Every structure is written in C-alpha cells, then in structure tokens.
Structure 1
Amino acid sequence: MDTLTVLQKRVSSAKLAAPAPSAEQRDAIYRSALRAADHGLMQPWRFLVIEGEGLDRLGELFVQATLHDNPSLSEPEQQSLKAKPRRAPLILVAIAACRQHPKVPHVEQLLSTGAAVQNMLNAAFAQGVGAFWRTGAMAYHPVVTEGLGVGQLEQIVGFLYLGTPAKPPHEPKSVNPETFFQSWPAQ
C-alpha cells in the first residue's frame, strides 16, 4: 500500500483476533514509532509490550483499580474488566517519559509520544495488521500506572491493541478538508 493511501484510508479495526503481528511486522511498527516528530531529539517515550499471560495480569490491574474506587463491584463486572485486554493478542502501552528541558516543554514531549502512537497505527495498517488506540480511566488510574511501573513524571498516552482484523477494514467516511483548513488572514 502506498504511503498516501495509508495516511488517507487508515481506520481502526474494532474486532481483533490472533495471531499477533509477526516479529517482522512488529519491527516495522516499532521503528515507525521512533521516527515521530521529536523536538530536541529527546525520544520522550517508552513502550510496554504485553501479550500472553501479561494480558491477564493487565486485566487483574483493571479489576484492582476499579475495586479501589468501587468495592461493591459485582463479579460479572469484574470478569468483564478482566477480559478487556484480551480484545487483542498484543497491547503496546505508550508512555510519555517526559523530562525537564529548557527548550522542549512537557506538552511537546507528550505530543511527540502521541505522534509515535499514530506512526504505529499507520505502520500497522500498511501491513494489514489490525489496530485500535484506547485510553479511558484505566490509563490514568494510579493503581494501573503504579502496577505498570509508570514513573512520577511519566504518563500513559494510550493502549495500542494489535492483532489480526476480524473483518476487512471499512471505507473511511469522506471529510471535506475545507471544513478544517482556512486561510489566514481571511480574504
């Protein structure tokens, strides 16, 4: 698939199955992350690779976090939370590993990590790998961040679910660029 087609046609795959991306596909996805826009060449990111038993341990963290806030969580609700990571055979946790820098503020480092995730989404799509990016309450919950070893100055920017698409990607909705791009100053 050519580059512009990937960039203009990429969509998320909501339903994923095994197998996870191959070693070769992962390498391309990982290398793409590392080419994200990066002011100061700080590489303000790190990624956790979670699969197999790790998916179950992540599900347990989701349950622990929710029980921390809601001790009366029902058993079916707990089982549903525990199963969430199993929506894909592989999850990459993208972590903004921000540092103090006189010319590169925290927000730029955070955005750079987001750009790395977008590059991984594009690289996955280009190779026929299904992917979707999730955050939600678990990305910010202290029980989850502590359990994953996220440092005090770090922040999870997303869980990137990867696997084999359960069905072919849908055609993205057509959007008129003029809706979002305007000349300035106005004529």
Structure 2
Amino acid sequence: MKTEIKLADYLASRRSIPAFQMGAPGPSKAEVEEMLRLASRVPDHGKLAPWRFIVYRGDERVRISARLKEMALAAKPELSEEMIRVEETRLTRAPVVVAVVSKAAPHFKIPEWEQVMSAGAVCLNLLMAANALGYASNWLTEWYAFDEKAYPLLGVEPGERIAGFIHIGTAMVPPTERPRPELAEIVTWVGEGA
C-alpha cells in the first residue's frame, strides 16, 4: 500500500536522483503510459500539444548508446577512457528514458516561446508523475540533445528539438538535498504589501 503525501509536502522535498544511481526495476509499459498521460496535463495555450514523447526501453538503449559513443569519438578522438564509458551508457543508466520533444513552431496566434515553455512543463510533470508512481527520475539534456546529427538516431524529426531526456528507474541510493536559493535572492515584490 502506497503512502499518501500532500502535494505541498512533496514539492517541499522533491529531489532528482542522478541517472547513474538508478537501476531496475523500471516502470512497466502501462506505468509509462500512465506517466505520459499525467505529464501531458500542462498549460498549452491554443491546445496545440507542441511536444511529443519518444520512449527508449530494453536493448534499443544499448544500440543507441553505442552509436552515440561512436559519434562522440568521431567529434573528439582524444576522449579519455572514463568519458568513453560515459558515452556508451548515455541511455542505459536507467531502465527507461523518455525524450520530451518540442514541436514548437511559428503560429499565427501562439508565440513559439509559449510552446517551448509548455514542453518544459511536460518535462517537470513527467518527473513528478514518475515520482508519484514510486520511481526515481532525472531530467537531463546532454550534448546529443542539442546535436542535430544525433536526431535521426534518436527518432527526432526535422524542425523538432529535444526539451529533455527523463531517466526513470528505481533509486539505488537515498536522495540527497542540495542548496536551494534563498527567496530574498530570487523574488522581487511589486505592489501592495511589498
């Protein structure tokens, strides 16, 4: 039986687990579908759904990671052995990786920036949906999120961009807290009661 947690309590303690600190079990296909349903409930001016998902599971993650390693070595043949190992595990650190793909494009009414922000909201919702189903999650954007030469390998179409790779699995270590900004450093009050 899962423990119920209040949303405010969850947000006050939400933390990401590094992808390399995740392991099996990962979510089932049905659980991933539920996460994606929840993730897609975001602000979306004009109901454009200017994003989509690509789910990487199983051995396909190994094949894609091997190709990403080849691409990284072609770009930087002097990579250290440690970085080569990192490259060959890009999509195998967690049992499931979901690419959130932004389809933001010029629109007669909806600014492209709003569409991009909607994709970012999807990424955050997906992190929280994974946590709600009892899994650890981490939002990463590494070099291949920005290298269009990697897009055909990843299943990204021309004109699309990757908003993030959400790694999902079971935490192998407890989460640790990190410093958070003080409100006085990030808030400007304007108006009554300021």
- The verdict on a shared fold, with TM-score over 0.5 as the criterion, is yes
Deviation track 1:138-173 (CA, whole Å, cap 9, x = no partner) reads: 111122112123222110111110000112333464
Structure 1 contact 61–143 (Cα < 8 Å) conserved: no
| Distance of aligned partners of 1:106 and 1:176 in 2 relative to their CA distance in 1, 3 Å threshold | same
Q: Which runs of 5+ in 1 are unaligned?
A: none
What residue is the counterpart of 2:9 in the other structure? Answer: 5
Q: How many residues align?
A: 187
* Greater CA drift, 169-178 or 16-25: 169-178
Deviation track 1:5-41 (CA, whole Å, cap 9, x = no partner) reads: 2222110012100011134532331112111111111
Q: Say yes or no: does 1:25 pair with 2:26.
A: no
What residue is the counterpart of 2:168 in the other structure? Answer: 162
> Any residues of structure 2 matched to 1:4-153 within 5 Å, and which?
4-14=8-18, 15-71=21-77, 73=79, 77-153=83-159
Structure 2 contact 50–119 (Cα < 8 Å) conserved: yes
Could you tell me the TM-score, scaled by structure 2's length? 0.85
| Distance of aligned partners of 1:174 and 1:79 in 2 relative to their CA distance in 1, 3 Å threshold | closer
State the distance in 2 between where 1:156 and 1:174 align.
Answer: 26
* Greater CA drift, 65-74 or 117-126: 65-74
Structure 1 contact 93–156 (Cα < 8 Å) conserved: yes
The one-letter amino acid of 1:10's match is R
Which of structure 1's runs of 4+ aligned residues deviate more than 6 A?
none
State the distance in 2 between where 1:155 and 1:42 align.
Answer: 16
Could you tell me the TM-score, scaled by structure 1's length? 0.88
1:3, distance to aligned residue in structure 2 (A)? 1.5
The one-letter amino acid of 1:159's match is F
Structure 2 contact 42–122 (Cα < 8 Å) conserved: yes
RMSD over equivalenced CA pairs, Å: 2.2
Structure 2 contact 54–155 (Cα < 8 Å) conserved: no
Q: Percent identity?
A: 30
State the distance in 1 between where 2:96 and 2:55 align.
Answer: 7
